Structure 1
């Protein structure tokens, strides 16, 4: 395994381009495939791309906030001290890899946005304390927990089909989470991954002479200085804890009300609210919070300028019918026994071009649910096969890795050599769960 991962890392470093170059290549590829495989003309594909370019604008802003707010929270004195205290108790590189992977898996099962940020922040803090741990593998391990998000409490597809009036309710009705998230096959996949992936990641630890430790420059944080200012009303408000207390009370009151009235429901907006309110409280004064926010926003440029290109790709994939072409091809070679497996593989392929759970469900659900109806397959399991396919190839799709990479100060090619083997390993587990349970 050490030899294989070394070869994989070498290949990724040589041939995997920057995430922006990757999405640019995908854009051109989808454009050409749309012209070749669908009735769309080149002009049609250009229009589909342009019309879809801003289709993820709301989601892009959510991701910018989850990254910036998570960064602000992590750099607050209280939170930083807590993370440091936990990380300081980890002594061995092998323990670091196992613990980071497990914490990330658990956090992502609860909520993917929470897990993405917390896993990367925790890994970076561990890098400060544990010597001779491979930083690339540490961050890859933190990201690998994202593999189970769609089989967890915040999975967008199982939650969608459990909602009254969802887009496909006329065909499949409302499917409760007991038939999706809490089924035996889904719990088998989740539990096996949770209890084996941490040790698989440890197995990929490189030889001591091949270890790439964290660049000390990545751990250096610019100390914020707040010189004494004139005694004016503006200066007083900037340094006052009164506003922090008031905003904190309002925010915490809303969160308590939300959880009392709606139960433990964590969507991306609630996660962002938690991060922002706790960040405000833990920084103490408006001045310190604003300074931390200005520093954090620098890490979001990759999301801001790359997500619109993925939205354009989604526009070309969906409107041209190219996603349907991929799905129909997998359906044509499947039967009653292999249908869920090929639905999973087709979703994994489409996810390269439509890296959004909700967007992918809208694209693939009509054709795959119709196919399930024709062969008598279970609608709920079909939905979960698509969900797992969407989550699976995220391991080698830079789209979702951007927040973790921004926090870690790494490039996609630094971790994808390890993530490739996570893809293979988890793909076997997911296939077994869908095929035989």
Structure 2
């Protein structure tokens, strides 16, 4: 990492953010250890707050451990394929062109935040993976931007925009005609949940706040951290003399060309038949893109091997978060925590308590669909007791569920792997943004429901 020299102490927001970074440097371990600590906390809470004995907790953990295997594989292969694409000469040229547009740190942050927000609204995985890639190129071009802050800000944009995404888990679930709570709340169309006025207003405010905070968090020159790695690191397979049939196949452009064409045909068919973006389809897009970018089987396989190391943390950590979710669900701990918070709510604070309860539960159950299945009935019962606006309760739940993704690092792990940066270098800025958001959201969720 590069360090310039300066005599100033940075802006007020920079000095304030350093308090969070100090805590990160001293308290935040490797992301894998972070997952183990959360697991231990859940074990203790389940033992003391529920009637579950030690073996029931262990069995719940073991059962949950394998519930994330499919998702872990999806994220593992996505990290590898997106890293391959990011390091290809062709994409380097395109992103370098975009990154050459800004001439100042402020304009670089603006481009990153707008790009990350739009990409994340299309799909969370796009924003999570593509924004750190763009950040690498921007950091190479503008030496005054702080690279860890850019990673945190781009990731925050992904989280920020999810409550107004039509494809988000809770929205899609409630819009289904046969969802498990249809008798209590009926079918709630996307127009009432994802495009709820409260959510649109809050996301717009958080966008402006995030943009201004990022721009105004100005470090002194001697504390600027730039991305100093090599971006174009793909392994080029050698086009050796084709002495054997095997060599010809390994270095044949025709082989990948045929499958690239098949992929393109399916891509067109997928959208022509009215299908949307799913995580599997996004992975498929990057797979076909890499077949095109790397041209021959040998170059493609060599690039896979070279980038596989980046997925190690994802592959091993996601199952442990599955174990945490298993303990939360099977022991009833999720309901205990949510009920305890909702019990304190009033007519005017029910939306904020929905936000807070979802935030706390999300620390241990980082899956919105699974969290809504457990927590949704509790929120609906409380909302009906206070005659609250149900779509706004859902909005507050989604905002809270997303907010603490800035605290627990599950979904940023792939991005960190992609740019090869430690969690503790970024977590302080994530916590700093979360703190600003918490204050903003508290004001908004108490004030706006009374006037909308």
- What is the DSSP-based 3-state SS (H/G/I as helix, E as strand, rest coil) of the residue aligned with 1:359? helix
8 Å contact from structure 1 (residues 137, 205) kept in 2? no
2:298 maps to: 287
Alignment of 1:108-147 (within 5 A): 108-147=120-159
- Aligned mates of 1:38, 1:64 — CA distance in 2: 35
1:403 maps to: 414
The 10-residue stretch of structure 1 (219-228 or 85-94) with the greater mean CA deviation from structure 2: 219-228
- Aligned mates of 2:192, 2:359 — CA distance in 1: 22
> TM-score with structure 2 length normalisation?
0.92
- Aligned mates of 2:112, 2:290 — CA distance in 1: 23
- Aligned mates of 2:407, 2:230 — CA distance in 1: 24
- Aligned mates of 1:57, 1:109 — CA distance in 2: 26
2:309 maps to: 298
Q: Is 2:149 the partner of 1:149?
A: no
1:333 maps to: 344
2:328 maps to: 317
1:56 maps to: 68
2:358 maps to: 347
Change (3 A) 1:150 1:268: farther
1:228 maps to: 240
2:106 maps to: 94
Deviation at 1:172, TM superposition (A): 1.9
2:254 to 242, 248, 251: 242
Change (3 A) 1:247 1:227: closer
Q: Any stretches of 5+ residues in structure 1 without a counterpart?
A: none
8 Å contact from structure 2 (residues 24, 424) kept in 1? yes
The 10-residue stretch of structure 1 (405-414 or 139-148) with the greater mean CA deviation from structure 2: 139-148
- Aligned mates of 1:408, 1:377 — CA distance in 2: 44
8 Å contact from structure 1 (residues 218, 409) kept in 2? no
2:284 maps to: 273
1:423 to 421, 430, 434: 434
- Aligned mates of 1:254, 1:135 — CA distance in 2: 37
1:361 maps to: 372
8 Å contact from structure 2 (residues 334, 361) kept in 1? yes
8 Å contact from structure 2 (residues 256, 291) kept in 1? yes
8 Å contact from structure 2 (residues 196, 391) kept in 1? no
- Aligned mates of 2:253, 2:183 — CA distance in 1: 53
Deviation at 1:17, TM superposition (A): 1.2
- Aligned mates of 1:236, 1:198 — CA distance in 2: 52
8 Å contact from structure 1 (residues 351, 393) kept in 2? yes
8 Å contact from structure 2 (residues 237, 299) kept in 1? no
Size of the aligned set, in residue pairs, is 435
Q: Is 2:226 the partner of 1:213?
A: yes
- Aligned mates of 1:314, 1:144 — CA distance in 2: 23
Change (3 A) 1:223 1:274: closer
- Aligned mates of 2:30, 2:342 — CA distance in 1: 34
Deviation at 1:227, TM superposition (A): 4.6
Deviation at 1:364, TM superposition (A): 0.9
2:15 maps to: 3
Q: Is 2:182 the partner of 1:169?
A: yes
Deviation at 1:192, TM superposition (A): 2.2
Q: Is 2:90 the partner of 1:78?
A: yes
8 Å contact from structure 2 (residues 257, 292) kept in 1? yes
Superposed structure 1 runs of 4+ greater than 3 Å apart: 217-220, 428-435
Deviation at 1:217, TM superposition (A): 4.0
8 Å contact from structure 2 (residues 196, 392) kept in 1? no
8 Å contact from structure 2 (residues 65, 323) kept in 1? yes
Change (3 A) 1:292 1:90: farther
1:181 to 190, 194, 199: 194
1:160 maps to: 173
Deviation at 1:224, TM superposition (A): 2.5
Deviation at 1:220, TM superposition (A): 6.8
8 Å contact from structure 1 (residues 326, 346) kept in 2? yes
1:18 maps to: 30
Q: Any stretches of 5+ residues in structure 2 without a counterpart?
A: 1-12
1:379 maps to: 390
- What is the DSSP-based 3-state SS (H/G/I as helix, E as strand, rest coil) of the residue aligned with 2:363? helix
**1:344-393 per-position Cα deviation (integer Å, ceiling 9, x unaligned):** 11000011101111221122112212222333323322222221111111
